[in-house]
């Protein structure tokens, strides 16, 4: 081949390398290309395997091909070491090794004693390896000083020596292939990393899903516990039997009268749950206080007044009950700011808490307790009216009375007991 022909072959090879993405198939193409274009007995390629830091044969082409699977070259193999070491004469790396030259050095070594003993042994080892590999020429491929591979070339079929043009061609090819190999490796690593990342993301997603499921299960269990706590509170006090359902019904009626959006499922559930659970905090209050027949002492009141805070705390872990907890916390606030636990005023008190405050008070007045008879509905209305604007939100009081009367009117024109409406 002429110098021009090598140049053209090189350009064509470089173009192909850019297109090939699989490094192994690229190297196989190079081996085939060399054997065909230059006419060699064989062309083999070893490349660096980063994982194990050794050099392996990836392919061998030609009539005298090497059994590539059988051969591994460690980093301390004389051939690899030869190319890893810097050229003592030149500044950079060694760029090729001709068997014919190596023979000359070994013979000179024997005759002139120019080399030290270890160097002698090294050159002989090198010669033996090249002989075993039936190699006439070895050409390294570097990328940024890193030895990525070696072209191991057999003899030319015409038995001629390699020309300087041919050697330059192999050098250019080896270095171009190294760049392509490095790029392909980087691309593969990147793809691998991407794949690992995707896997990790998938795992993470699954874990999150699992956590979410566990959280939902926990919430459901806790929900059940809270509901049974609430039932227990009401079961403690005979007055409260029927209290829950009654307060709930009155509360819903009042909310409806105030155009509260009961069609909004979240709002409806929040209001219902709050009406149901507003006194759940009483679970921590001693029976001696809770069931006391006479008026409470100041100390006892202090304990009693803790129940909205305790209730909110019980509901705190239930994320879907966050609003419910807030309503429970403020169901004993007064409209004029004289209530507890925080003395909130007016609209600062959640509407649902203001509704609970009215229906709870109404229910307490009309219910028969162990220490007194329940009073008539009219008395309860007048008590609520008295408290409108101070203890209670006047709008809620009026809405409640209207709703109650409407319900009563629907039932019958005559007087109805509170139990029947409930």
Q: What's the closest the beta carbon of residue 411 comes to Fe ion, in angstroms?
A: 28
Closer of 62 and 311 to Fe ion (Cβ): 311
Closer of 135 and 270 to Fe ion (Cβ): 270
Q: What's the closest the beta carbon of residue 310 comes to Fe ion, in angstroms?
A: 10
Q: What's the closest the beta carbon of residue 283 comes to Fe ion, in angstroms?
A: 12
Hey, which residues between 2 and 31 contact Fe ion (CB under 5 A)? none
Distance CA 310, CA 294 (A): 24
Q: What's the closest the beta carbon of residue 281 comes to Fe ion, in angstroms?
A: 8
Q: Which residues contact 412 (CB under 8 A, 6 or more apart)?
A: none
Return phi, psi of residue 61, to 5°.
-125, 160
| Count of residues of this chain found to bind Fe ion when the rule CB under 5 A is applied | 1
Closer of 61 and 278 to Fe ion (Cβ): 278
Binding mask 244-283 for Fe ion (x = CB under 5 A): -----------------------------------x----
Name the residue with the smallest CB distance to Fe ion.
Answer: 279
Q: What's the closest the beta carbon of residue 308 comes to Fe ion, in angstroms?
A: 6
Closer of 60 and 353 to Fe ion (Cβ): 353
Q: What's the closest the beta carbon of residue 272 comes to Fe ion, in angstroms?
A: 17
Distance CA 8, CA 17 (A): 14
Q: What's the closest the beta carbon of residue 285 comes to Fe ion, in angstroms?
A: 10
Closer of 248 and 279 to Fe ion (Cβ): 279
Closer of 154 and 281 to Fe ion (Cβ): 281
Closer of 279 and 383 to Fe ion (Cβ): 279
Q: What's the closest the beta carbon of residue 278 comes to Fe ion, in angstroms?
A: 6
Closer of 59 and 279 to Fe ion (Cβ): 279
Distance CA 29, CA 25 (A): 6
Closest CA relative to residue 151, chosen from 132, 173, 131: 173
Q: Which residues contact 306 (CB under 8 A, 6 or more apart)?
A: 281, 284, 285, 341
Closer of 279 and 393 to Fe ion (Cβ): 279
The maximal CA–CA distance of the chain, rounded, in angstroms, is 136
Binding mask 50-79 for Fe ion (x = CB under 5 A): ------------------------------
Tell which phi-psi region holds residue 343, choosing left (phi > 0), alpha (psi between -120 and 50) or beta.
left
Closest CA relative to residue 245, chosen from 91, 367, 375: 367
Q: What's the closest the beta carbon of residue 311 comes to Fe ion, in angstroms?
A: 8
Closer of 61 and 276 to Fe ion (Cβ): 276
Binding mask 278-317 for Fe ion (x = CB under 5 A): -x--------------------------------------
Q: What's the closest the beta carbon of residue 360 comes to Fe ion, in angstroms?
A: 6
List of residues contacting Fe ion (CB under 5 A): 279
């Amino acid at each position: 081949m002429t110098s021009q022909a090598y140049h053209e072959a090189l350009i064509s090879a470089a173009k192909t390398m850019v297109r090939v993405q699989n490094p192994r198939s690229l190297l196989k193409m190079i081996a085939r290309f060399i054997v065909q274009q230059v006419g060699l007995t064989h062309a083999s390629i070893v490349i660096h395997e980063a994982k194990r830091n050794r050099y392996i044969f990836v392919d061998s082409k030609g009539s005298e091909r090497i059994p590539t699977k059988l051969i591994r070259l460690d980093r301390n193999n004389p051939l690899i070491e030869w190319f890893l070491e810097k050229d003592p004469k030149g500044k950079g790396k060694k760029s090729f090794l001709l068997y014919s030259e190596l023979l000359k050095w070994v013979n000179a070594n024997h005759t002139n004693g120019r080399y030290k003993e270890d160097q002698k042994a090294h050159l002989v080892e090198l010669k033996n390896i090249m002989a075993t590999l039936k190699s006439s020429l070895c050409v390294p491929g570097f990328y940024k000083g890193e030895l990525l591979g070696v072209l191991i070339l057999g003899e030319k079929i015409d038995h001629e020596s390699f020309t300087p043009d041919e050697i330059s061609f192999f050098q250019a090819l080896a270095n171009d292939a190294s760049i392509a190999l490095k790029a392909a490796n980087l691309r593969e690593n990147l793809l691998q990393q991407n794949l690992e990342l995707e896997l990790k993301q998938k795992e993470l997603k699954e874990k999150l899903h699992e956590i979410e499921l566990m959280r939902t299960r926990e919430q459901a269990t806790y929900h059940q516990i809270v509901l049974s706590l609430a039932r227990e509170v009401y079961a403690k006090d005979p007055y409260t039997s029927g209290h829950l359902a009654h307060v709930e019904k009155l509360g819903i009626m009042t909310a409806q009268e105030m155009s509260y959006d009961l069609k909004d499922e979240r709002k409806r559930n929040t209001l219902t749950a709050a009406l149901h659970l507003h006194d759940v905090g009483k679970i921590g209050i001693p029976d001696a206080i809770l069931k006391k027949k006479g008026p409470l002492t100041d100390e006892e009141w202090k304990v009693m007044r803790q129940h909205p805070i305790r209730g909110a705390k019980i509901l705190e872990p239930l994320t879907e009950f966050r609003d419910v907890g807030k309503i429970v916390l403020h169901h004993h606030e007064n409209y004029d700011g004289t209530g507890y636990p925080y003395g909130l005023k007016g609209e600062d008190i959640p509407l649902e808490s203001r509704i609970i405050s009215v229906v709870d008070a109404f229910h307490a007045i009309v219910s028969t307790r162990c220490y007194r008879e329940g009073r008539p509905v009219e008395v309860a209305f007048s008590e609520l009216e008295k408290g409108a604007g101070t203890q209670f939100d006047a709008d809620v009081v009026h809405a409640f009375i209207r709703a109650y009367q409407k319900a009563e009117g629907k039932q019958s024109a005559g007087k109805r007991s509170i139990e029947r409406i409930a």
